[in-house]
Chain A
Amino acid sequence: MTTEKIDFAVIGAGPAGMAAATLAAELGLDTVLIDEQDAPGGQIYRGVERAQDNSPLGADYLAGKPLAAALRASGATYLPATTVWHIDPDGTLSLISAAGARTLRARRILIATGAIERPVPIPGWTLPGVMTAGAAQIMLKSAGLVPTGRVVLAGQGPLIWLVAAQLIRAGAPPALILETTSLGNYHFAAHRLPAVLWPSRRALAKGIGFIGEVKRAGIPIIHRVTGLAARGRDHLETAVWNGCETQADLLLLHEGVIPNTQISLALQLEHRWDVGQLCWRPVADEWGATALSTISVAGDGGGIAGAEAAALSGRLAALDAASFLDKIDPAERDRRARPVHRALKREQAIRPFLDALYRPAPAVLVPADEVIACRCEEVAVVQIRRAARLGAQGPNQAKAFTRCGMGPCQGRICGSIVSAVMADTLGRPIAAVGTYRPRAPYKPITLGALAGFEHPEGLSEALTGAVGGA
């Protein structure tokens, strides 16, 4: 097996990846789009190609259809159901799919791996019957499935209202909404409202529309909820807050989304702690280009701004790749990018307001001592604190003390929690404490798959290189 050489590899077929691959192919780049799912759309537009025009998911969801159609019609090679399990800074990607293992070498790689839901570590969050709000939405998008029984939606953020509205339209309204937005957040956000009122009027109107839809449906909403917990023996039985309690079959949690930084962290790109969005984000320029000339980032994986902004940032990254690879000159890149930059600025305008309004409470980042931080290895917050007091200086040392972050999810879920708990215990800023350095394989792969990997140089490089660093 030889390593196929291409111009541009895009990882992730969400809005950023679809838009980037489509434009790059149009600009004459030999482009490959790699995605784990078997159809384009990412999480936000998951299953969109099969969606009916009257879908309960709404018009914003259906906006993904033309993006997917454009990708299908483009000259980009689309590799669905394929996992990237290693990237070398020289541009070599190790892929695995049902067809076997292969490598590609790209002159520029775009990481468009989107967002993950921020973990909501409350007591009992590992119980069956506790899921994320996004998970329920994915059930609806991918298979037309809605929850049964008594559903409680808890947390905050635009997705809470969107999911509630979608479930109402699909005939499965939630029984109760527990909103965690604090009074302080309302005050803080109010100061930012005048600045976004006009530029973001459409987005604001849409959000108010969803809230109205939920209120008209008569769903009880409890505001300023704190002390949220899930209780039950082998599965969820009750949701608890502020000394109140309600029976629940399904508790859907949501506290916003954060960038999926698994690959950018593994590549040891510089990341900064974003104090506005309370998350790590890779350092990149206005084109998404990073300090590594082979690697760029677009979409929510570079910082949370939503689906429309993601598609725009994907186009900027494609223009920059075309310029970097001499398909267009920098002047043409800049000329073509001007309206895209302007549109992106408009899309991003609402973020400071939303980030302030839906800023997670301190307990979301630093939960109570008894709460499980690492779901995989079942490590409680108190154990992370103890490790910090025993001398662990950061999350990577905490792994050695407690096994946190060493389970199958490779720290995807507990990463931000462990950073925040250690910072809190050590009395240092999160930025100084740092975060996990994930390693390849980015997703667990079988020995059988590796055995079929007929590329010994790539393999040894991947394995020795991966275990080298911090």
Chain B
Amino acid sequence: MSLFRKVSEPAAAKAGVIVTVEGRDVPVPEGASAAAAVLLAGSDAIRETGVSGAPRAPYCMMGVCFDCLAEIDGIPNRQSCMVTVAPGMVIRRQHGKRTVDTAVAAE
């Protein structure tokens, strides 16, 4: 179940953008953050911690707690609450710590 929804008043019912969250297309209002998109998508968690693997979801939504770290457009460890959605943005859950792509690193 999604933890958030759009306000039903017409003022807020403006054109949205479509982003992909964990492979699923999700319409989100313009101006929303990637973290908000994950909450709208109904994902339980946005990442699993690097220490114990515990599920986490955005906590502060204002760039303080870093619990919303996610992979956005292929780049891990992004503060998703500080990234505004753009059409076609791909947001993926982050499992544990981010890793370095050694094939790229070796180039």
Contacts and interface: CB of A to CB of B under 8 A. Distances in A.
Given A135-B59, A413-B60, 4 more contacts: A126-B59, A143-B28, A170-B9, A444-B77
Interface of B: 1-9, 11-12, 28-33, 36, 39-40, 44-46, 49, 51-52, 54-67, 69, 75, 77, 79, 81-82, 84
A206 to B, nearest CB: 23
Interface of A: 36-38, 43, 47, 50, 52, 54-56, 116-117, 126, 128-132, 134-135, 138-140, 142-149, 170-172, 234-235, 249-250, 260, 375-378, 407-409, 412-413, 443-444, 446
A50 B64 contact: no
Contact of B7 (A36, A50, A171): A171
Contacts of A413: 60, 64-65
B69 A130 contact: no
A43 B30 CA distance: 18
Contact of A145 (B29, B52, B55): B29
Nearest to B43: A128
A146 B65 contact: no
Nearest to B4: A145
Nearest to A372: B54
Contacts of B66: 376, 407-409, 412
B36 A130 contact: no
Nearest to A38: B84
A130 B54 CA distance: 14
A146 B36 CA distance: 11
A378 B3 contact: no
A234 B55 CA distance: 7
Contact of A147 (B4, B9, B55): B4
B5 A146 contact: yes
25 contacts: A56-B9, A117-B60, A126-B59, A131-B59, A131-B61, A134-B62, A135-B60, A139-B39, A140-B7, A142-B32, A143-B33, A145-B5, A145-B7, A145-B40, A146-B7, A148-B3, A149-B3, A170-B7, A171-B7, A407-B66, A408-B69, A409-B65, A412-B66, A413-B64, A443-B63
A129 B36 contact: no
A142 B36 contact: yes
Query: Most A CB atoms within 10 A — which of B2, B33, B60?
Result: B60
Contacts of A142: 31-33, 36
B33 A128 contact: no
Nearest to B40: A145
A136 to B, nearest CB: 8
Contact of B57 (A50, A128, A171): A128
A304 to B, nearest CB: 15
Nearest to A151: B3
B7 A56 contact: yes
A134 B61 contact: yes
A135 B32 contact: no
A36 B82 contact: yes
Query: Most B CB atoms within 10 A — which of A130, A131, A145, A376?
Result: A145
Nearest to A56: B7
Contact of A139 (B1, B4, B8, B49): B4
A249 B57 CA distance: 13
B61 to A, nearest CB: 4
Contacts of A43: 62
Contacts of B40: 145
Contact of B58 (A54, A131, A235): A131
A250 B29 CA distance: 21
A144 B3 contact: no
Nearest to A409: B66
B102 to A, nearest CB: 14
A56 B9 CA distance: 10
A92 B60 CA distance: 30
Given A146-B7, A170-B7, A375 B61 contact: no
Nearest to B3: A250
A126 B60 CA distance: 11
Query: Most A CB atoms within 10 A — which of B5, B56, B62?
Result: B62
A375 B59 CA distance: 10
A146 B4 contact: yes
Contacts of A378: 49, 51-52, 54
Contacts of A37: 82
A68 to B, nearest CB: 14
Nearest to B10: A52
B2 A148 contact: yes
Query: Most A CB atoms within 10 A — which of B30, B59, B66, B79?
Result: B59
Contacts of B1: 148-149, 249
